[in-house]
Structure formats: structure tokens, C-alpha cells
Chain A
Amino acid sequence: MKNKLFGTATIAAAMAFGLPAMAQSPIKIGFVSTFSGPQAAIGEDMRRSVELAKEHLGGKMGGKPFEIIYEDDQFKPDVGKARSEKLVQQDKVNFIGGYIWSNVLLASYKTVVDEGDTILISANAGPSQIAGDLCNKNFFSTSWQNDQTPMAMGEYLNTKGVKSLYLVGPNYAAGKDMLAGVKRTYKGKIVSEDYTKWPDQLDFSAEMTKIAAAKPDGIFIFYPGAHGVQFVKQWAQSGLNKTVPLYQVFSIDAITLPQQGDLALGTLGAQEWVNDLPNEANKKYVADFKKKHGTYPSYYGAQSYDAIMLMASAAEALKGDLSNKDKVRAEMKKANFKSVRGDFKFGNNNFPIENFYIQETVKDPQGMVTVKTIATAVKDAVDPFAAKCPMK
């Protein structure tokens, strides 16, 4: 009894004074995402999934309690870098997860991985530099490299026999990556490749008119977030939905679907995770998420959930002792946990080697618009930049 009391007091003291490296000090996790401003909806979805993961873990990793410190990057690279710096240098966190945006991740990247004490897990952004020559042993991804998803779409279009394709995307780095990605694998004719102004172009009438005149077999788009809502709505309103099918990556998801609604029905997209993937971890995740929030989780959320589970798997294997970073990295590299996307391996650059699926927008039995898996586009895909990474 006395002992227990003393232990509690020590924990309290350790928490109050932030004493480092106490045996009972909690595991600290930083989570950087966008929680304010126009893109806060994505950050909120990620946080819900992180909190759900915490609940499923019972608030403990490897027998130790853990705390999560959320930081808002405000959708600005310099702010994201400053927040990451704070997490590493002041809060001295064991892991940092999150990162929706490539530019925020790239700005924060060196500060975190060069420091050596913190392991960075991207739950979304996957710029080619980090998969290639900038790869680092302190970095892991639970998402994908930017090019992979559109490449999977391209493969699927080949098997489906779509003869000509019209590409449209926003004129910024990820937009160009995505269109380049589909061109890597798609073998049919590219009718045209249009880049629209970013982020201020909200009207796509000129593009719709061009597409109608070009009469392609399909349109391929990449418009994340609000722009995806606009593009899909305008595509449907222009009447093109009756003549030209829409193929997309990252433009129709659980966050945008409530706004796209019926207009998005029948569109096809590629993704490494879909809410109906038939594995136990996923069933539990999706069911509990829906019970709590009344909506389907998005892929942003699924990847965040996996990021926390990946951290937990390493802590579990090491019984909560994260002091030896080499051991932590080795455990993480095993990816020894039940991912909601099904089992996967890490490649030499610490990006997942994983399957990509084709999803169709449908109505669920309750009448809610959502996506369901209709095919596997590619199996165990390795990203095209892994060869450039000097790590083994």
C-alpha cells in the first residue's frame, strides 16, 4: 500500500515537473495537423481517429500510459516547422505523427529526423524527395508515396480498356505529381493535360467545355478537399456525368462526400484503404468510428489510426522502454501490427509496400453516400523512388 502510494506520488511529481527518462514517465506523442482555418475538417477527422486508437489501446502502450500533444500547423510550412521543433526540443516527444501536406512535412522534416531522438511518422503526405534521396531511418510512412495512388489508377484503366483520358489537376507540386503518376502506367491516349490555378480557381466551366469538345473516354482528376467538391459538382451540372466517366484520386472521400452527395455516385477512385476492407481491425475501427461520430472515417483518419498503432506495436515489443532508438526503429520496421488496410511490409525507404484498391461511390443500406471496394488494382506495390533511397 505504502509502495503504491509512493509510486503514484512519483508519477504525479514526474508529470508536474516533466522529469525526463523516469521509468514511469508516460510515452509522449506529438501530432501535427491542420486544426484551424479552412482545412480544419481534415485535421479534425485525423484527431478523431487518433483518439479512437487511444481508446482501443486503453490509453497504454507496452504497459505505459501515453499522452498525445496536438499541434496546429495552420496549413503553413513555417508554422508546421516551428510546432514540430517545439515538440522535439521542448516536449521531447518519442514520436511525431500527422502531416497532411507535403510542404509542411518537407519544411519540418530535417528538424525532426536530424535531431535523432524522435521518430517521424507521416500519416498522409508522401513527397518523392523523402521516398528517394532524402530518406531517413527516423522516418516512417503509414500512407503512400504521392505517385503510387494515381499509378494504381492507371493500371486499372489499362485493364478496363479505357482508350483515351483527359487529365485535369491543380497547378501545384502534388497536382503535377499525381498527373505524372497516372501517365507512368496508363497506356492509352492522353487527350489533354490541363492544370488549373491553385488555390483560387473555383470555377471549372472552361475546362468542362473543353472536355465536352474533346469527347474523351474518361476524365482523371486530382482535387483534394473543397476543390474536389467543386469539380465533381460542376462535372455533374455540366451534364458530362452522363457521357464521360470520372476517375479520381484523393478527390472523393468521407470528408467531401457529404457535400458531393448523389452527384458523385458511380465515380471510381484508387486508394490503399477503403472502409469496407474485410479485416477484423478495419471492421472494428470503422464500426466504432461510425458509432461515435455518425459518419464514415476518411483515409486520413485510417492512416492516422495506423500511425498510432505502429507506435504502439514498437512500444509493446519493447515493453514500454523506448530509450534505445535502434531497437525502436527495428521494431517499427517489422510493421508488426494489425493495420486497418490489412498486413503490409515496409520497403527500404520505410514507405509501405501495400495493395491499392479501386473504390466506387455508392449508397449504403441506410442511404448514406460512401465508397466500396470493387477491385484490387495492384498488389504489393513498391513506390518508384525507393530505388533512389540509399538505405537498405
Chain B
Amino acid sequence: MIAALRTPRGLATALILLVLAALPLLTQAFDQRYLLSIGTRIVIWSIAAVSLNMILGYGGLVSFGHAMFFGIGGYAIGILSAEGISSGWIQWPVALLAATAWAVVIGALSLRTRGLYFIMITLAFAQLVYYVGSGLEAYGGDDGLNISRSRFPGLIDLRDKASFYWLCFALLCASLWFCGRYANSRFGLVIRGAKSNELRMTALGFPVFRYRLAAFTIAGALGGLSGILLANEGAYVSPAMMSWMKSGDLIVIVVLGGMGTLFGPLYGTIAFFVLEEALPPILNLAHKGWGEYWMIVFGPLLVLIALYARGGIDSLLGRRHD
């Protein structure tokens, strides 16, 4: 543990986690409430990115529909809240169960395909969920739904921004710990092995399909968790949270951070949010009004990242030893 701090990667990660852990105190000390709002979103999106990384990074399964789990987790909370069930003890398990069940079903159907076909079939299922969401007229349809936050009486008040942030941060730490265990377990090794050579893994006697389905399901459940948090963060759910653009953003984040690395999704999310917040003001500094054309810079940046920085931010921190 201490030895890990000597590498630049270890040091950087420790620093980031330390800052994140103390963020509510820091933002209060410097009277920067807005930074805590961004921080909360970064932490929640990181959980989603960690979950996508489990299948995309380690497993090489390019799911172009991961934001649907945002939607399923979020809408489970939203619908229960609209029906008057506000207890988190009911809401959260139901939402997790819904995300898990849906992941099993579409995983079983999608994992029969490969390559572009897999990309497209996951997109198709995500679009399906998206349009079902926009069709839910009783729950706001396309306009979305304002909800009240989940209640955990006596335990935690999610309306308090600092408490809510620390809850999200604790869940992120738990997800990272879980993902670390997963990556180095026998189960994780099969998933990683099947990424580079599926045939060999099958020949070795591993039922690759079942392993992948299990991984897809876990990723779906964890994605559902981030959806639960996202709904509570904004006290609002809408179909837009699961549009295909959001799925694309998640892929960009995972690649940007470094695919198949434990902390890559965290780096990626931070970088993505910082870019989105900072690029327009920086361009505006160069010339007033340019900020609105930030995508003219962001687009080619994406091309360059895809072409030349496939190891992501993680690879900038030196070679890996594991």
C-alpha cells in the first residue's frame, strides 16, 4: 500500500481520492458550493464509468447503450416516488433489482452477437428503453418528472448536499474496491482472456458466454446504482438521461481514462467534466463568443484521443506493472 505511493500513478490516485474525500470541507472553506455540485456529478458518473469499464475495458464488449441503466435505476426511483413510496429501503432494492433483471435479459440476447452487431443491438435495446420512458405520460413523458429524494429516516438525509456527496463517494470507493477484486479474480481473468482470444478460452473449457453474461449483469446492476444516485442528485428524471448521446459520453470517458484499468474511469470522468466546464471559458478568453463553438475543438480532440491516446490518461502516468 505504501509502496504504491512511490509510483506517479499511486501518488496521483491517492491525491485525487484525498481531495474527493475532503471535497465538502474544501468547498465550504472556500465558499465554492458549485464545485460540490460538479463533484457530486463526477462521483456518480465515475460509478457508471467503472461499471461500463468492467465489460468494455476488461471484456472488450462495446456496449453502446449503457446509459439505459441510468434510466432504469432513475425511473424506478422516480415512479415509486410519484406513487408515494418514498422510503429508500424499498426504492433502492427495487431499482437495483430492475436494472439487474433487465441486464440479464438483454445480455442473454445481445451477447450472441459480435463486433458492430453487438454495438448496434445494445443501442437498439437502449433506444427501446428510451422510447418507453418518453411514452410514460403518467410520469411526465418526454418532459421528465420532478421527484422528492429517497428517505432513509434516522440514517441519512439526502437533501443535505455534503451527506449525499459522502454517500456517493463511499459507494464509488466500494465500486472501485469491488472492481479491483473482480479484475484479478479467476472470473475477471476469464473475461479478460476472452477479450484477446475467445476461442482459446472456450477451448480451455470456460463457458465464455455465461461468464460474459454474469459480467454484463453485474455492470448493469452497478449502472442502475448510478442511475439511482443521479435521480436523487437532481431530484429529477427524464428520458434524456438515457439518450444514446449519454451512452456515447460514457464510452468516451472510459477510453479517455484508460480502458481496462482500475482508476481509469475516475480519471476519465474528471477529465471529461473539466473539459466540458473549462473549454468554453478558455475559448472565450481567446476571443469573446468562441466559447459556443467549443465542439469545433472538442470534436478533433476526440479524434486525436481515439487515434493516439488509446491507453488513455492512465498510460500517461507511466507503465503498468500488473
Interface residues of A (CB under 8 A from B): 35-37, 40, 72, 76-78, 81-82, 85-86, 89-90, 102-103, 106-107, 109-111, 127, 129, 134, 171-174, 176, 198
- The A/B interface has a contact count, at CB < 8 Å, of 77
A85 to B32, CA, bound (A): 12
Interface residues of chain B, those whose CB is within 8 Å of chain A, are 32-34, 37-38, 41, 134-135, 137, 140-144, 146, 234-236, 238, 240-241, 245, 280, 291-295
Q: Which residues of B contact A89 (CB under 8 A)?
A: 33-34, 37
Q: Is the CB of A110 within 8 A of B141?
A: no
Q: Is the CB of B141 within 8 A of A85?
A: no
List chain A residues, Cβ under 8 A from B245: 76
Contact A172 B292 (CB under 8 A): no
Chain B residues contacting A82 (CB-CB under 8 Å) are 37-38, 41
Nearest residue, chain A, Cβ from B239: A103
Contact B240 A78 (CB under 8 A): yes
User: Which chain A residue shows the least CB distance to B235?
Assistant: A110
**Choice from B33, B143, B146 contacting A174 with Cβ under 8 Å:** B143
Chain A interface, DSSP helix/strand/loop, else mixed = helix
Q: Contact between B143 and A106 (Cβ–Cβ < 8 Å)? A: yes
A72 to B294, CA, bound (A): 11
How far, in angstroms, from A119 to B146 measured CA to CA in the complex?
19
Establish whether residues A86 and B34, one from each chain, have CB atoms under 8 Å apart when the complex forms. yes
When the two chains form their complex, are residues B34 and A110 in contact, meaning their CB atoms are under 8 A apart? no
> Considering the chains assembled together, what is the distance between the CA atoms of A171 and B135 in angstroms?
8
CA distance A174 to B291 in the complex (A): 30
B141 touches A172 (CB 8 A): yes
A173-B37 in contact (CB<8A): no
24 contacts between A and B (CB under 8 A): A76-B240, A77-B240, A78-B234, A78-B241, A81-B234, A81-B236, A82-B37, A85-B37, A89-B34, A89-B37, A90-B33, A102-B143, A103-B144, A106-B236, A106-B238, A110-B236, A127-B143, A129-B140, A171-B134, A171-B135, A172-B134, A174-B143, A176-B137, A198-B134
Q: How far is the CB of B293 from chain A (nearest CB, A)?
A: 7
Query: B135 — which chain A residues lie within 8 A by C-beta?
Result: 171
Return the contact of A103 from the options B137, B238, B291 (Cβ within 8 A): B238
Which of A76, A89, A127 neighbours the largest number of chain B CB atoms within 10 Å of its CB?
Answer: A89
CB closest chain-A residue, reference B143:
A173
- With A36-B292, A72-B292, A134-B146 known to touch, is A173 a contact of B240 (CB < 8 Å)? no
Docked CA distance A78–B293 (Å):
19
CB neighbours of B280 from chain A (8 A): 72
Chain B contacts for A129, CB-based, 8 A? 140, 143, 146
B160 CB → nearest A CB, Å: 13
Residues of B close to A174: CB separation below 8 A? 142-143
Instruction: Knowing A103-B238, A103-B240 are in contact, say whether A109-B32 is a contact too (CB < 8 A).
Output: no
B235 to chain A, nearest CB (A): 6
